[in-house]
Structure 1
Amino acid sequence: MSVIYILLAISILVAISFFIAFVVAVKSGQYDDSYTPSVRMLFEDELVKEKPKKLSTNQKTNS
């Protein structure tokens, strides 16, 4: 039974250490994306689909 307590304590310490490492990495800017904004201007904007043109009254009566 004492082995379970030891393993539980070790797993909690490992989890806390990974969480602290994650927080330090986030605060130091490790996950900031500095590459994408510099190349975003090289890509074309998405094409906007045009709405279908409405038929004028003259075209409707001729058909």
Structure 2
Amino acid sequence: MYIIFLMIAISVSVAALFLGAFLWAVRSGQYDDEYTPAVRMLFDNEVGPGSNKTEKKATERPV
């Protein structure tokens, strides 16, 4: 019975360690996206509510 409590304590400690490492990485900016803003102008624009949808269809090439 003692080993069950020991294993639970070890697993909770490891989970807390991983949670702390994840929170540290988020706060230090490890997950900031620095690549996408540089290439955003290369992506196609979405059709917005103010744009003319018929013009977009006329410029699309048939498949």
Asked if these proteins are the same fold (TM beyond 0.5), I'd say yes
Q: Which has the larger helix fraction?
A: 2
* Greater radius of gyration (CA): 1
- Residue 8 of structure 1 aligns with an amino acid whose one-letter code is I
TM-score by length of 2: 0.71
Aligned residue in 2 for 1:17: 17
Number of equivalent positions: 50
Query: Taking every aligned residue pair, what percent have the same amino acid on both sides?
Result: 56
RMSD between aligned residues: 1.3
1:25-62 Cα offsets, whole Å, 9 max, x none, are 00110100010011001223134633xxxxxxxxxxxx
What 5-or-longer segments of structure 2 have no aligned partner?
55-63
The TM-score, its normalising length taken from structure 1, stands at 0.71
